[in-house]
Chains A and B, each alone.
Chain A
Amino acid sequence: QVKLLQSGAALVKPGDSVKMSCKASGYTFTDYIIHWVKQSHGKSLEWIGFINPYSGGTNYNEQFKRKATLTVDKSSSTAYMEFSRLTSEDSAIYYCARWQQPYCFDYWGQGVMVTVSS
């Protein structure tokens, strides 16, 4: 069955970076684009960007263009997101999700809680 397994929670200091992973299983990794979504505490969902595991091509929400970097490792079927220059506003849960083109996100990872605190 399709699974997206994300890395564990992270506690980081303001100004630092964090890199989180999303390991896919149960399907051919390069057949589906992976999106990343932010959910701040008690709030809605914001689209960060996506990466095409086949080509490595990316597309970012303008709001996160200088904040997020998306990469993949095809050999391990893993997608990564690095978030840089962290502030308290970046404290949130971050999800990866598989895109069932051209429509919905049909499978989601369990989320990574990132806490930015000194």
Chain B
Amino acid sequence: DTVLTQSPALAVSPGERVSISCRASEGVNSYMHWYQQKPGQQPRLLIYKASNLASGVPARFSGSGSGTDFTLTIDPVEADDTATYFCQQSLNDWTFGGGTKLELK
């Protein structure tokens, strides 16, 4: 299985820039996607194919990377961005990272 590793939690102040990382145990080309999940809700697609913004997602969100290292950036962070963010790869079956919980100071 392709294992995706994310840092468990981050805390930032509104208005700041935050980068959430995801490292794959093997190369996944650009088959990396990002989701946002708020408590009690289903995941919501933010970024697909590493850097493409999903429909309806604010331009404050962006993605980058290829191969094994990927980053989701939020700039600037707003209070509504409090959530858990998951990366997912779709090159070798489908696996998800453990999630990064974003909290606002």
Residues of A within 8 A of B (CB): 35, 43-47, 61, 95, 97, 100, 102-111
Contact = CB atoms under 8 A, between A and B. Distances in A.
Interface residues of B, number: 21
Contacts, number: 51
Contact of A44 (B31, B93, B96): B96
Nearest to B95: A47
Contacts of B90: 102-104
Interface in B1-56: 31, 33, 35, 41-45, 48-49, 54
A79 to B, nearest CB: 15
A113 to B, nearest CB: 10
B93 A104 contact: no
Contacts of A109: 42
B88 interface: yes
Contacts of A100: 48
A105 B94 CA distance: 10
A95 B42 contact: yes
Given A46-B96, A103-B90, A110 B33 contact: no
For chain B, what secondary structure do more than half of its interface residues adopt (helix, strand, loop), or is it mixed? loop
Interface of B: 31, 33, 35, 41-45, 48-49, 54, 86, 88, 90, 93-99
A108 B44 contact: yes
Contact of B33 (A46, A103, A108): A103
A107 B31 CA distance: 17
Contact of A110 (B35, B42, B94): B42
A100 B94 CA distance: 13
A102 B96 contact: no
Given A103-B31, A103-B49, A106-B54, A47 B42 contact: no
A44 B48 contact: no
B97 to A, nearest CB: 7
B85 to A, nearest CB: 11
Given A44-B96, A44-B99, A45-B96, A105 B31 contact: no
